[in-house]
Amino acid sequence: MDETVAEYIRRTVLKIPRDEIKMMLQKWDFLSEAQLQTVNFHQIKDNISQEVVQLCEENSADIKQAAVLDIIYNHIYQNKRIWSVYQMRKTGEELEYFDLTDFKKKFKRRLRSALKNVTITFREYEDNAIWIRVAWGTPYRQPNQYKPSYVVYHSQTPYVFISASVLRSNLPLLCQALIVASNYHEIREMELRSHSLNSLKDIVFKRYSQNFQTYCPKPLQGRTVEPESVDLRIIHENKSEKERIQRLNQEAFGNGPQPILQFAQYKLETMFKSSPEMDVLDKKEPFRCLVKFSSPHLLESLKSLAPAGMADAPLSPLLTCITQKARNYFRIREKKGLFPDSFVSP
């Protein structure tokens, strides 16, 4: 077995928390049950990884199998990476039958024709998701297995989720290969990024609980029974205001759990507006400013701003439109044009 493969497997095993190593190796299905029984999973991880590498040596693992183990790890720990969403478009509306083998063949062929040294691995999961791992090399160097890109593609949808490696120069090539393999014509990056892959899927597949405009003449009286612990000596004077805020929040954010996003970024390219006496800028050019909101769970925290008294309800539509517009990176210009799109065709 190759030295580099052994080292790669050892490092991958070291990344896995000790309690989960056995489960992941079983999922990997490369080492037999009998072999796994011989490993002591209660010792320190260094030793466990050495034993695993030994067993892989016996089975003559190559880089292809090692890559599968890496996909398994990244599938379970998908939230450690940042995912961007890309949307593909095709002219013409015919729904073609999706052939997985055909897809894989075309994808590999396209990538390999441009770059000889790549490692491409596929793995399918039950929710119709195809995970693709690509390790990039150059014409003169072997692929760097430690900085691969991951692509998650749901074949019945035009969306692709990409977690690019640091080497962004390979992104156009990856996009091209995806369009060619899936029979689309264009691909563009949606301005939507997050650590939580499932939340991104929820947003673009519209699986979050949307608020439909139903005509409600007065708020539903479901809550007339107060909880037992209400003290009659404490009187809330602004109950109707509280209810108004609740209602506005519900309209803006819906009832269910919010998708998990970590950032919202607004790039302002607007003119600085000040009173005429404060002539701050001599030349009238747009004032460049970047506003970034960050939080472990941005939408929940936005939702709780008004009830906590930290902002007025209703919140600015720039904040509440995030899930509906499926983007969290905005560019705000002067009134004329909004949110430009840009498509990249091969």
Partner 1 sequence: MAVLRPLDKLPGLNSAALLLVGSDEELQQKLAEAILQEKRDFKISIHIATSLPLPSERDHLRPRIDLIVFVIDIKSKCSLKNVEASLAYVDATFFLGKVCFLVTGVGRVNCCSIETNAICKLGEAYCSPMLFCELELEGVRVSTAQRLLRMLQICAGLVPGFSALSFSLLMRNSADD
Q: Total binding residues for partner 1 by CB under 8 A? A: 16
Please identify, using beta-carbon distances, which residue of 137 and 314 lies nearer to partner 1.
Answer: 314
**Can you tell me which of 235, 278, 280, 290 binds partner 1, judged by CB under 8 A?**
235
Please identify, using beta-carbon distances, which residue of 1 and 315 lies nearer to partner 1.
Answer: 315
Interface segment toward partner 1; rule CB under 8 A; list 180-188, 196-204, 226-234, 261-269: 226-234
**Can you tell me which of 127, 231, 282, 334 binds partner 1, judged by CB under 8 A?**
231
Q: What is the spatial distance between Cα 256 and Cα 85, in angstroms, rounded to a whole number?
A: 23
Bridge-based pairing state of the strands 287-294 and 149-154: unpaired
- 166 interacts with partner 1 by CB under 8 A: no
**Can you tell me which of 29, 46, 102, 241 binds partner 1, judged by CB under 8 A?**
241
Q: How far is CA 307 from CA 238, 246, 297, in A?
A: 12, 7, 17
Residue type at position 122: F
Q: What is the spatial distance between Cα 81 and Cα 327, in angstroms, rounded to a whole number?
A: 18
- 242 interacts with partner 1 by CB under 8 A: yes
Kindly report whether the peptide bond that precedes residue 172 is cis, defined as omega within 30 degrees of 0. no
Q: How far is the CB of 62 from partner 1 (least distance, A)?
A: 52
Residues from 17 through 56 that contact partner 1 (CB under 8 A): none
Interface segment toward partner 1; rule CB under 8 A; list 159-167, 192-200, 218-226, 228-236: 228-236
The answer for residues whose C-beta is within 8 angstroms of residue 339's C-beta and 6 or more apart is 325, 327, 330, 331
- 243 interacts with partner 1 by CB under 8 A: no
Please identify, using beta-carbon distances, which residue of 34 and 310 lies nearer to partner 1.
Answer: 310
Q: What is the helix (H) or strand (E) element at residue 163, kind and residue range?
A: strand 159-163
Q: How far is the CB of 328 from partner 1 (least distance, A)?
A: 24
Q: Is 213 exposed, middle or buried (0-12, 13-18, 19+ CB in 10 A)?
A: exposed
Please identify, using beta-carbon distances, which residue of 180 and 311 lies nearer to partner 1.
Answer: 311
The answer for residues whose C-beta is within 8 angstroms of residue 32's C-beta and 6 or more apart is none
- 156 interacts with partner 1 by CB under 8 A: no
- 223 interacts with partner 1 by CB under 8 A: no
Residues from 305 through 324 that contact partner 1 (CB under 8 A): 307-312
CB 195 within 8 A of CB 260: yes
Q: What is the spatial distance between Cα 24 and Cα 74, in angstroms, rounded to a whole number?
A: 11
Residue 264's SS3 state is strand
Phi, psi at residue 94, to the nearest 5°? -65, 135
- 238 interacts with partner 1 by CB under 8 A: yes
**Residues lying near partner 1 in the complex (CB under 8 A):** 231, 233-238, 240-242, 307-312
